[in-house]
Chains A and B, each alone.
Chain A
């Protein structure tokens, strides 16, 4: 198997039967209860990451904008879930059209039933795979909102989320994971979505920070994070949810899921420690925001690599991501002056790129015989594949995000008025306040 993705249970080769021709009795026999249980639990864990992200981001904004963040995350859960069952799943995973996109043959979940699809996950109901994937489609656009936090009009946000999920996420998911997708055929390694989710969302975040422009008063007159404990709560829940994201991507509950689980955990721990040490050296104190940012960066970077690297690979990826993202957030952002409010690009974009490339460095068949060897295991070609697919994703996501934002700006306007921005999005967009002064 050359084109190996996140799932490649060895059974695939044994059970190379058409996914469409299976009689119910045979299919039922193939469903594995342990695998199904783990994937459904993982789906729930990945869903939890979006409200976790809401608190991670929400704690970092100013008091007057906390509800806008929570609302945007919840609205993403609502919009993308519906988009997914109606068209998104089919565009991403449906029958291939020229390697670029899935057809609409599975729109409205037509033919996506309870018997397994052997191409994607031969031991669980097809709908379990579909709903697991739905949670990835939800969190990806939600990640972007960290870049345009505190200034985007809510109507524009809703339009953007729907359009971005359809025009950017779905095709990229198809390229990497869809049967027949162009990167899938090139043999790119992306275990749980480093490119599809993090590079994709991170680059879109940079594009939106550039198109929307800075917040008023940035960088010198923006108040510090209003509730760091919320951010810590969010980061903690993200860490837990990430086990569903990465270990769940094994789509089975055995050895591979365990490897991915361990690598995920170790990378997060290493990256959190590394960032805290960097802060200790360069800012004189180890900061709470630093350690949680590092841990999230570690989780981002290990995402494409989780099922392909050993513990030492995970440690190297964790150290690397904190070094690189620290530089991106502390030096590069300040130098260029773009206002990526909550560092969606600095952590997810940059961390995701490092993860995708590091997968090409540290992947080894000793961990996963269904994967490929990376640069350090005698296969430099894999590194080139990783670089190519990452670059293609960067270009597509960046260009399409700008096009969508310009379109939405023409339709309804992207930014709230200057006065509304000063008052805050909670009151002006939602007529609510996160906190009251009086009981």
Chain B
């Protein structure tokens, strides 16, 4: 089991979700986050005072998958989030030691899907 964390541009979220759906990956958690990478992004201007925009709005998407779904999930996120510009984001894949479904008490790979 793996836990996939992707930090992407907010405007790519719908595309990423669509690609995940196509691979029949339905269970995701999404949060608004702030972050920064190597790009400067769009700076904001308030009464002519330019904000450097050191932290940018991003979306963090989390998916827990069984091993055979790792590649399809990563491919789907890449396909949806990629524009080719600096700032497209990152995907992290980490080992997942356990998963429990609260309602039934099931554990392991049956609890993930």
Contacts and interface: CB of A to CB of B under 8 A. Distances in A.
Interface of A: 219-220, 224-225, 279, 282-283, 285, 287, 289-290, 293, 326, 329-330, 334, 343
B45 interface: yes
B52 A329 contact: no
A282 B48 contact: yes
A220 B45 CA distance: 13
B45 A219 contact: no
B46 A224 contact: yes
Nearest to A287: B45
Interface string B26-58: 000000000000000000111111111000000
B45 to A, nearest CB: 5
Contacts of B47: 289-290, 293, 329-330, 343
Nearest to B45: A283
10 nearest A-B residue pairs (beta carbon): A330-B48, A283-B45, A329-B47, A224-B51, A224-B46, A289-B46, A224-B44, A289-B47, A283-B48, A225-B46
A330 B45 CA distance: 11
Contact of A326 (B44, B46, B48, B50): B48
Contacts of A290: 47
Contacts of B51: 224
Interface of B: 44-52
A290 B46 CA distance: 8
Nearest to B44: A224
A219 B50 CA distance: 10
Contacts of A283: 45, 48, 50
Nearest to A334: B49
B92 to A, nearest CB: 24
Given A225-B46, A283-B48, A329-B47, 7 more contacts: A224-B44, A283-B50, A285-B45, A287-B45, A289-B46, A293-B47, A334-B49
B46 A287 contact: yes
B43 to A, nearest CB: 10
A224 B46 CA distance: 7
A287 B51 CA distance: 14
Nearest to A225: B46
B12 to A, nearest CB: 23
A405 to B, nearest CB: 25
Contacts of B46: 224-225, 287, 289
10 contacts: A220-B52, A225-B46, A279-B45, A285-B45, A287-B45, A289-B46, A290-B47, A326-B48, A329-B48, A330-B48
Contacts of B45: 279, 283, 285, 287
A382 to B, nearest CB: 33
Nearest to B54: A221
B90 to A, nearest CB: 25
Contacts of A289: 46-47
A34 to B, nearest CB: 41
Nearest to A346: B47
Contacts of A285: 45
Nearest to A331: B48
Contacts of A329: 47-48
B50 to A, nearest CB: 8
A287 B47 CA distance: 8
Contacts of B44: 224
B42 to A, nearest CB: 10
A275 to B, nearest CB: 9
A225 B51 CA distance: 11
A285 B45 CA distance: 9
Chain A CB within 10 Å — which of B46, B48, B50, B52 has the most?
Answer: B48
A279 B46 CA distance: 10
A175 to B, nearest CB: 32
Nearest to A275: B47
Nearest to A293: B47
Nearest to B53: A224
Contacts of A225: 46
A306 B50 CA distance: 35
Contacts of A224: 44, 46, 51
A283 B44 CA distance: 10
A13 B12 CA distance: 72
A329 B50 CA distance: 12
A220 B47 CA distance: 14
Nearest to A219: B49
A343 B51 CA distance: 17
Contacts of A343: 47
Contacts of A293: 47
